[in-house]
């Protein structure tokens, strides 16, 4: 797991931008749990991001904008090709944003504004102009509907290792017996504890994790067949059936609706 440091915010500045881009890692990219006084907007360009704040976990797909309020302890794991734009928001300006974590589908306007914030040379945007652009961003966010994709994570460290391994290598064919041996517990204990801590069976969780990783590939332009095979499905038709059961539409329709 590659660990990535978070850039600091500039004191007193309304918005402090920075970007993250990391090479593809089989076990993902990790941001250790931390907290900051400012709020943070995160636009995910590539990769699947799993954000954990306390016992709650959210998944953020490419083409989504996430919001982390100030003072909220959180960590993240980034699977796939990591690329994102980040924007610290000064604490007093966070009152205009939700008090809880949120995730919205992005839009061309949001992407253009985030690009303006993160790629403008230092000092190019005056404080007054920055506030005007921020007002536009907030108004655009208000038009988007909060649509989190949830993937419950276990609290037990050993089960967390299992969950992260399944996210990192979704095509792993190991069965419950093999995983139980790796974790030095019986298969019955593994299944019982995993369900107690996540509310779903290990099989259900694994299927959802595979679908989310496949969705990450689809969002960055991969074909349905490539996505299906990359996460361990033996046939495209089986993948499409599972995807439709989870999201209500075929993979092609899901991507078309997002676009």
Which tens digit of pLDDT belongs to each residue from 7-17?
666 666 788 87
Topology of the domain covering 2-142? Jelly Rolls (2.60.120)
Q: How confident is the model at residue 94 (pLDDT cuts 50, 70, 90)?
A: very high
108-119 and 127-142 helices cross at what angle (nearest 10)? 150
Answer whether residue 27 shows pLDDT above 60: no
Share above pLDDT 70 across residues of the chain, in percent, rounded to a whole number: 88
Q: Which residue has the tokens 């209500």?
A: 248
Answer whether residue 103 shows pLDDT above 50: yes
Which tens digit of pLDDT belongs to each residue from 143-163?
998 776 677 888 888 998 898
CA dihedral 200, 202, 208, 211 (to 10 degrees): -170
Q: How confident is the model at residue 65 (pLDDT cuts 50, 70, 90)?
A: very high
Delimit the domains of the chain by residue range: 2-142, 158-258
Mean pLDDT of 100-117: 92
CB 49, CB 66: distance < 8 Å: yes
Instruction: Kindly tell me the burial class for residue 185, based on how many C-beta atoms sit within 10 Å of its own C-beta (0-12, 13-18, 19 or more).
Output: middle
**Average pLDDT in the chain:** 85
pTM for the model: 0.70
Identify which of 73, 151, 87 has the alpha carbon closest to the alpha carbon of residue 119: 87
Mean pLDDT of 224-232: 92
Q: Which residue has the higher pLDDT, 150 or 179?
A: 179
Mean pLDDT of 223-248: 91
CATH architecture of 158-258: Orthogonal Bundle (1.10)
Answer whether residue 238 shows pLDDT above 70: yes
DSSP-based three-state secondary structure for 17:
strand
Helices (H), 27-126: 108-119
């Amino acid at each position: 797991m590659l660990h990535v440091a978070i850039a600091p915010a500039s004191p007193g500045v309304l918005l402090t931008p920075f970007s993250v881009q990391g090479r593809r890692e089989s076990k993902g990219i990790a941001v250790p749990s931390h907290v900051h006084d400012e709020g943070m907007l995160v636009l995910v360009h590539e990769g699947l991001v799993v954000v954990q704040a306390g016992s709650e976990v959210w998944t953020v797909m490419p083409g989504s904008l996430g919001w982390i309020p100030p003072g909220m302890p959180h960590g993240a794991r980034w699977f796939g090709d990591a690329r994102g734009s980040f924007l610290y928001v000064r604490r007093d300006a966070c009152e205009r944003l939700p008090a809880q974590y949120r995730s919205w589908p992005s839009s061309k306007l949001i992407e253009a504004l985030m690009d303006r914030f993160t790629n403008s040379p230092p000092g190019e945007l005056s404080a007054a102009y920055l506030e005007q652009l921020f007002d536009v961003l907030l108004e655009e966010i208000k038009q988007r509907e909060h649509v989190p994709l949830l993937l419950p994570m276990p609290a037990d460290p050993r089960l967390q290792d299992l969950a992260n391994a399944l996210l990192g290598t979704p095509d792993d064919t190991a069965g419950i017996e093999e995983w139980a041996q790796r974790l030095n517990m019986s298969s019955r204990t593994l299944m019982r504890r995993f369900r107690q801590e996540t509310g779903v069976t290990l099989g259900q969780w694994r299927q959802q994790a595979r679908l989310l990783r496949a969705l990450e590939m689809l969002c960055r332009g991969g074909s349905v067949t490539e996505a299906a095979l990359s996460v361990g499905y033996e046939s495209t038709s089986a993948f499409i059936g599972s995807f439709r059961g989870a999201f209500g539409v075929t993979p092609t329709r899901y991507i078309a609706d997002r676009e």
